[in-house]
C-alpha cells in the first residue's frame, strides 16, 4: 500500500492494535453474532431517547462546539475529516464534517444516536479505544464489518483530571488521507478539551458551590418559554448572584460561552443593562 510509506508509518504505528488484540476483538464480534457483511449499525437511538444523553453531556458538547465546530468550516473541510463525538457509552452525540459528507454517512446509519459498540458496529476505533483506554488507529481492512472497510480512523478517550472517561472523540477519513496527520490532530484536540475540562473542574472545586442549580421558579414561565434549556440554566445562576466565571464553572462551560449566552438572553428578552435589566423585567 503506497499510503504506508515508512517515513509516515513510524509516526503512528504504535497506535495500531496488535494482531492478538484484533483477533480477540474479531472473536468477540463473532460471539456477539455480528455479521462481517454488516452495512449499517445495529443500534441507533431514536431522537427522543437521545435527548437525555445530550443533556448529561451538555458540557462536553459545549467544548466540542468551541474546539471542533470551527474546523468543519473555513478551509478545514477540505481535509475531509469526519469528527465523531461520543459519550462514555459510545453513543454518538454529534458529528462534525462538511454537509456533503454528513449526508453520505447518514445514509449508512452513522448519525447522532448511533452506538459504536462492537455489538452495534463490530470492531472499530471507538470500541477499541474504550476497551484499551487509549488512542487507537484502525485501517480500513482492520474493521470487522464491511460498513467501515473504506474508513481509516483514529479514536481516543477523553479523561478528566482523575482519569475518568467523560467521552470519546474519533476522526475518520477515506483511506487515501494521511492517518499520521489525523493522529496528531486528534492528540491536539484531546489535549485542548481535557485541559478545558480540567480547568472547569478545578474552578468548581475552588468555588465549592455544590451541584445544585438555583430553583427554576426564579424565572417565571412567560419568560422561561422564550429561552432554551441552557439559556435558562445560565440565567438562573446569574440571577442567583453568580458571576460569569462562577456560572461557567458550575455548568462546565468556558467564560466566553457564558458571555455569549448572556447576550442571547438579553436580546431575546429585549432588555438593556444586563442582569439589572432582567430583574427590572421580572419585577413588573
Write down the pLDDT at residue 215.
Answer: 40
Confidence bin at 124 (pLDDT 50/70/90): very high
161: helix, coil or strand?
Answer: coil
Q: Tell me which of 99 and 219 has the higher pLDDT.
A: 99
User: Is the predicted pLDDT of residue 211 greater than 60, yes or no?
Assistant: no
Is the pTM higher than 0.75? The answer reads: no
Asked if 174 and 140 count as a contact pair (C-beta separation under 8 A), the reply is: no
User: Is the predicted pLDDT of residue 135 greater than 90, yes or no?
Assistant: yes
Cβ neighbours of residue 57 closer than 8 Å, sequence gap 6 or more? 87, 93, 166, 167
CATH code, 216-282: 1.10.10.10
Terminal-residue alpha carbon distance, the chain: 72
Looking at the domain 6-205, which fold is it? Beta-Lactamase (3.30.450)
Q: Which of 7-21, 129-143, 243-257 bottoms out in mean pLDDT, i.e. has the lowest?
A: 7-21
pLDDT, tens only, 255-284? 889 989 999 999 999 888 788 788 777 766
Can you give the residue ranges of every domain in the chain? 6-205, 216-282
Write down the pLDDT at residue 217.
Answer: 35
pLDDT, tens only, 58-113? 888 988 888 888 876 544 445 578 999 999 999 999 999 988 888 889 999 999 99
Asked if 93 and 103 count as a contact pair (C-beta separation under 8 A), the reply is: no
Amino acid at each position: 500500500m503506497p499510503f504506508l510509506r515508512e517515513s509516515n508509518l513510524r509516526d503512528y504505528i504504535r497506535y495500531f492494535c496488535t494482531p492478538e488484540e484484533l483477533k480477540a476483538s474479531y472473536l468477540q464480534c463473532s460471539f456477539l453474532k455480528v455479521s462481517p457483511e454488516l452495512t449499517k449499525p445495529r443500534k441507533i437511538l431514536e431522537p427522543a431517547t437521545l435527548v437525555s444523553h445530550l443533556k448529561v453531556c451538555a458540557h462536553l458538547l459545549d467544548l466540542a462546539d468551541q474546539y471542533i465546530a470551527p474546523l468543519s468550516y473555513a478551509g478545514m473541510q477540505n481535509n475531509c475529516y469526519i469528527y465523531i463525538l461520543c459519550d462514555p457509552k459510545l453513543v454518538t452525540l454529534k458529528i462534525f464534517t462538511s454537509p456533503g459528507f454528513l449526508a453520505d454517512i447518514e445514509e449508512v446509519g452513522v448519525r447522532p444516536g448511533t452506538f459504536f459498540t462492537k455489538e452495534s458496529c463490530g470492531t472499530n476505533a471507538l470500541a477499541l479505544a474504550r476497551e484499551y483506554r487509549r488512542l487507537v488507529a484502525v485501517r480500513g481492512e482492520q474493521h470487522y464489518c464491511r460498513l467501515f472497510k473504506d474508513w481509516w480512523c483514529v479514536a481516543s478517550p477523553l479523561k478528566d483530571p482523575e482519569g475518568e472517561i467523560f467521552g470519546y472523540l474519533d476522526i475518520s477519513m477515506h483511506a487515501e488521507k494521511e492517518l499520521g496527520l489525523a493522529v496528531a490532530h486528534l492528540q491536539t484536540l484531546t489535549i485542548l478539551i481535557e485541559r478545558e475540562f480540567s480547568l472547569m473542574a478545578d474552578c468548581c472545586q475552588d468555588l465549592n458551590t455544590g451541584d445544585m442549580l438555583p430553583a427554576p421558579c426564579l424565572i417565571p414561565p412567560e419568560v422561561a418559554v422564550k429561552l432554551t434549556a441552557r439559556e435558562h440554566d445560565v440565567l438562573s445562576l446569574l440571577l442567583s448572584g453568580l458571576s460569569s466565571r462562577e456560572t461557567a464553572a458550575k455548568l462546565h462551560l468556558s467564560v466566553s460561552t457564558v458571555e455569549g449566552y448572556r447576550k442571547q438572553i438579553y436580546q431575546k428578552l429585549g432588555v438593556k443593562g444586563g442582569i439589572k435589566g432582567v430583574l427590572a423585567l421580572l419585577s413588573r
